[in-house]
Amino acid sequence: MTDVPILGEPPESALPAEPGHEGKGEIHVVHLYPREMSIYGDLGNTRCLAARIRRHGYTPVVHQHHPGQPFPEQAHLVVGGGGQDSGQVRVEADLEVIADRLRDLVAADVPMLMICGMYQLFGNAFITVEGKRLPGLGILDVTTQGNEKRMIGPVVLQTEFGDVVGYENHSGSTTLGAGQAPFGTVRSGLGNNGEDGTEGARLRHVVGSYLHGPILPANPRLADALIGWAAEVATGRPFEAGTLDDAIADEARNRQVRRLVS
């Protein structure tokens, strides 16, 4: 199988920084399991991060991590997407192999964005609708039970990054452990379980969420929070943001908010 192309470049290639902004440093982005866990456009998160990192004047280096491969030496930002239950089964064994490395990165405040299927696997366990128990990393204190009825539709959340919009499609119903902070509060949609008004989970710089879309292009504040944390880890200096024009993203997000929440 060929590699999933990221920005038309071969994996592990560096894109040059925006002219006039060279020298802020490299930011290494690791995309976990792009073949098995990247549905509903989640690959767009990696593309969005690479483009924004470059526009902020840093040099993005994108690594694709596939099952059985050594984990990249440098990792300043880690992303994972959604997948079928069968895709989750295919990455389970490798996830166990890289678990300690991921835990160390979390403890070092490396930012991570885990969507849907990978969000579930960052939790304690995902029990499929057939009753198969897939143990998770336990980084986020959440547990997910698969159901016959799927939760599907557009979502608006209230979060510390402002309104966040996206699209959910999951059979898993997720429960937060006592003391586990959610990523956001549901303004429209179903979220973790359709009952308690929570969506996703947040620990240190790890964000877990069900939101596809992909989530980052329409929510640049969230993208820049992840990039800002990654820049600090990568360079040891505060994030130096560039000036980006987000008018189109803001318009798209505001339209979804207006359409769903009035």
Among 117, 166, 200, 217, contact with ligand GLN (rule: CB under 6 A):
117
CB of 13 or CB of 84, closer to ligand GLN: 84
CA-wise closest residue to 80 among 38, 47, 111: 38
Structure tokens at 76: 């300043």
Q: What are phi and psi of 154, to 5 degrees?
A: -75, 150
Q: How far apart are CA 181 and CA 198, in angstroms?
A: 9
Which among 51-59, 81-89, 133-141, 232-240 is the span making contact with ligand GLN, rule CB under 6 A? 81-89
Taking the complex as a whole, the smallest distance from the CB of residue 251 to ligand GLN amounts, in Å, to 27
44 binds ligand GLN (CB under 6 A): no
175 binds ligand GLN (CB under 6 A): no
Report the Cα 64 to chain-centroid distance in Å: 14
How many other C-beta atoms are found inside a 10 Å radius of the C-beta of residue 81?
30
Structure tokens at 257: 């908010």
CB of 171 or CB of 185, closer to ligand GLN: 171
CB of 85 or CB of 240, closer to ligand GLN: 85
Taking the complex as a whole, the smallest distance from the CB of residue 128 to ligand GLN amounts, in Å, to 7
Among 57, 72, 80, 172, contact with ligand GLN (rule: CB under 6 A):
172
Report the Cα 232 to chain-centroid distance in Å: 18
Taking the complex as a whole, the smallest distance from the CB of residue 257 to ligand GLN amounts, in Å, to 23
Contact 214, 48 (CB under 8 A): yes
Q: Which residue is nearest to ligand GLN (CB)?
A: 82
Cα separations in angstroms, 237 against 77, 156, 169: 16, 33, 38
Among 114, 116, 233, 249, contact with ligand GLN (rule: CB under 6 A):
116
CA-wise closest residue to 168 among 128, 139, 134, 198: 198
CB of 74 or CB of 84, closer to ligand GLN: 84
User: What residue ranges bind ligand GLN (CB under 6 A)?
Assistant: 39, 82-85, 88, 116-117, 146, 169-172
